[in-house]
Amino acid sequence: MVRAHDVGQSAEAILIGILLLEGGLALVGGVLLVAGPSGRLLRMPAEWLTGTPFSTYLIPGLLLASALGLLPLFAALALWRFRSMTGLRRVETTLGMDTAWLASLAAGTGIMIWIVAQIAMLRTLHPMHGFIFALGAAIVALSLLPSVRRKHALPRR
């Protein structure tokens, strides 16, 4: 018989794995775009930037590595090792959830927004867009599971 605790642990383990995968992909991709702002290292043509606010991939690379690379990696670490951060107590208290959960939800939502914005700016659809969007949706869905939410809910005062 599968216990609710086991399901919650499994869901969180999968969530951490997806956050590590997405964060790692974004960090590597962002670093490669910064190292080769022409897009050559990722074989991304400069023509894709036509009609966007960017003339090179430098700024998108910085955003990708920092926001979509580091945030999911932080969320994975927070879910695995610690729950709450002193600097975010006010936000945590207001929302009733710990930092780890908040970072996870923010990471998944940010990934989906990034992909929608990227498709809109580039006016093209690549299979990788669907894969990365699905990772973001999975992060949000797993974060919202009752078993995960219960584990990261702050005690009521």
pLDDT in tens, 23-33: 999 999 999 99
List beta partners, residue 97: 153
Structure tokens at 30: 């962002």
Residues 39, 100: Cα–Cα separation, whole Å: 33
Q: What is the pLDDT of residue 62?
A: 97
Residues 55, 32: Cα–Cα separation, whole Å: 16
The separation between the first and the last C-alpha atoms of the chain, rounded to the nearest angstrom, is: 35
pLDDT digits (tens, 9 = 90+) for 38-90: 999 999 999 989 889 999 999 999 999 999 999 999 999 988 876 656 666 77
Q: By the 8 A CB rule, do 153 and 122 touch?
A: no
Residues 157, 56: Cα–Cα separation, whole Å: 51
pLDDT tier, 103 (very low <50, low <70, confident <90, very high otherwise): very high
Which class for 143: exposed (0-12), middle (13-18), buried (19 or more C-beta within 10 A)? buried
pLDDT tier, 134 (very low <50, low <70, confident <90, very high otherwise): very high
Structure tokens at 94: 């207001």
Evaluate if residue 107 carries a pLDDT over 70: yes
Mean pLDDT in residue range 105-120: 95
